[in-house]
Amino acid sequence: MITHPDRDALQNEIHARPRQPLATPQRVSHIALMRTAHGDATVLPDPLGPLCASAGVAAPDTRGGHFFADFGTFRLKRERHGEFDDYTVYCDDVDARAPFARPAIDALPAGWLDTLPGLLIAAVHIALLPAREMPDGTAAAAAAFGANEFAGASIADGAARAFTDFRVDERGFTRVLVIDSALTPAHAGRVVQRLIEVEVYRMVAMLAFPLAHTSAAELDRVEAALGTLVARLEAAPVQEEPALLGEVSRLAGTVERIAASVGFRFGAARAYHALVRQRGTELRQQRLPGLQTLTAFLERRFDPAMAFCESVGRRIESVAERIARASALLRTRVEIERERHNQELLATMNRRARLQLHLQQTVEGLSVAAITYYGAGIAHYLFVAARTVGWPVDPELATGLAIVPIAIAVTLGVRHIRAGIRRRLGGA
């Protein structure tokens, strides 16, 4: 039995990103960095190398997508995804009076964050506190988020409560407050990871939103031009058809360019949107009095943006189909006009062929007359010669009598030659 060469990699994929168990209280900071087009992350110098060397920690495998290490004052995890890398920092203590005053990311060495490649797309602080230190979670959330409108819910079937305003602070981080009532460390780790993924996948999905706005503006211009073109198509003279066909081709090229530029991003947005909804469902939320749940807040703000992206994607397909129909209609007109020209050309050729046939018949008649004339002349000379040698022949009478058989012979000979030419042409 031969083992598939990818079997081990496929089997280990489900264990590639283990969730870290978290004991309450806990500070967590997470950042996600989109890779740029300047190089492969596995080829560029790994920023974790100097950090691990300074702390005496084993450096990560450049081929691995997951790294986790304890640096003493903090723990650091890195994961590589399809188009972004994320880094998560964990610290054990949290000040219940100011849960976000000292985020976990401040435990990193000064300046190390500046060495990370990529563009920051998502950043979140999570404060995980025990319920005994925050008996009134809603009041604590109101104090943490200030006057901002925030959302909150009981999660994990009542084992915890989570609050967030989905806004960025002065350092560019969103904040999530989690109050632990009965979470085990493993369950707390999964809950925190789901909250992080909701924020990261939401932001990566939103990358399609500005593209959708730009594409919608371009589609407005394309649709306006297409409407004008179709209106012209109804009464356009034949002379304008090549110009109209060129305009249709230009519009088709524009739509194909738009589709190519947004196709991957829109497809990725659909996938990330599905992940956000899945992670929201996995949180198993229940409403708290007077607050929207996290998923309800996203449904009001995030889902419409994704719906707009979907509508633009469908609009691109619709415009492409309309252009294809206009192109088909115009090409049909061109083909009909071409067929009419061909028919006129064939009719002209038929008329010319008939004229040529009449001319040929006329020429044949003249040829028969001319050859007969020359044949009769030759026969006259023969008859004169015969009388000279003593034959009893009247040259004038004999020549007159010979004209009819000479004409018949010439006519039959010409027809035989024409039939032979036709046979040869038919055989070719």
Q: Are 120 and 33 in contact (CB under 8 A)?
A: yes
What's the 3-state SS for the chain? CCCCCCHHHHHHHCCCCCCCCCCCCEEEEEEEEECCCCCCCCCCCCCHHHHHHHHCCCCCCCCCCEEEEECCCCEEEEEECCCEEEEEEEECCCCCCCCCCCCHHHHCCCCHHHHCCCEEEEEEEEEEEEHHHCCCHHHHHHHHHCCCCCEEEEEHHHCEEEEECCCCCCCCCEEEEEEECCCCHHHHHHHHHHHHHHHHHHHHHCCHHHHHHHHHHHHHHHHHHHHHHHHHHHHCCHHHHHHHHHHHHHHHHHHHHHHHHHHHHHHHHHHHHHHHHHHHHHCCCEECCCCCCHHHHHHHHHHHHHHHHHHHHHHHHHHHHHHHHHHHHHHHHHHHHHHHHHHHHHHHHHHHHHHHHHHHHHHHHHHHHHHHHHHHHHHHHHHHHHHHCCCCCCHHHHHHHHHHHHHHHHHHHHHHHHHHHHHHHHHC
pLDDT recorded at residue 340? 77
Which residue would you say has higher pLDDT here, 20 or 360?
Answer: 20
Count of residues making up the chain = 428
Whole-structure pTM value: 0.76
Q: Is the dihedral of CA 105, 106, 108, 109 positive or negative?
A: positive
Both tokens of residue 1? Answer: 């039995």
Over the stretch 64-115, which tens digit does the pLDDT of each residue have?
Answer: 678 898 998 999 999 888 899 999 999 998 888 889 989 999 999 999 999 8
Both tokens of residue 49? Answer: 């190398």
At CB < 8 A and 24+ separation, what contacts does 209-216 make?
Answer: 209/305, 209/308, 209/309, 211/261, 211/262, 211/265, 211/266, 211/309, 212/262, 212/266, 212/308, 212/309, 212/312, 215/258, 215/261, 215/262, 215/312, 215/316, 216/312, 216/315
Distance of CA 130 to the CA centre of its chain: 48
Which residues lie below 8 Å from residue 399, measured CB to CB, with a gap of 6+? 376, 379, 380, 383
Which residue would you say has higher pLDDT here, 218 or 238?
Answer: 218
Over the stretch 192-215, which tens digit does the pLDDT of each residue have?
Answer: 999 999 999 999 999 999 999 999
Confidence of residue 237 (pLDDT cuts 50, 70, 90): confident
pLDDT recorded at residue 12? 63
Whether the per-residue pLDDT at 39 is higher than 50: the answer is: no
Which residues lie below 8 Å from residue 104, measured CB to CB, with a gap of 6+? 27, 28, 29, 74, 89, 90, 91, 125
Over the stretch 270-286, which tens digit does the pLDDT of each residue have?
Answer: 999 999 999 999 999 99
Both tokens of residue 221? Answer: 């211009």
**How many Å apart are CA 77 and CA 322, to the nearest integer?**
50
Whether the per-residue pLDDT at 38 is higher than 90: the answer is: no
pLDDT recorded at residue 342? 81
Task: Give domain limits for the chain.
Answer: 18-184, 208-343, 352-427
Question: How confident is the prediction for the chain on average, in pLDDT?
Answer: 84
Over the stretch 288-321, which tens digit does the pLDDT of each residue have?
Answer: 988 889 989 888 889 999 999 999 999 999 999 9
Beta bridge partners of 28: 90, 126
pLDDT recorded at residue 175? 93
Which residue would you say has higher pLDDT here, 252 or 372?
Answer: 252
Both tokens of residue 321? Answer: 């189909």
In terms of C-beta density within 10 A (0-12 exposed, 13-18 middle, 19 or more buried), how is residue 150 classed?
A: buried
Q: Are 323 and 251 in contact (CB under 8 A)?
A: yes
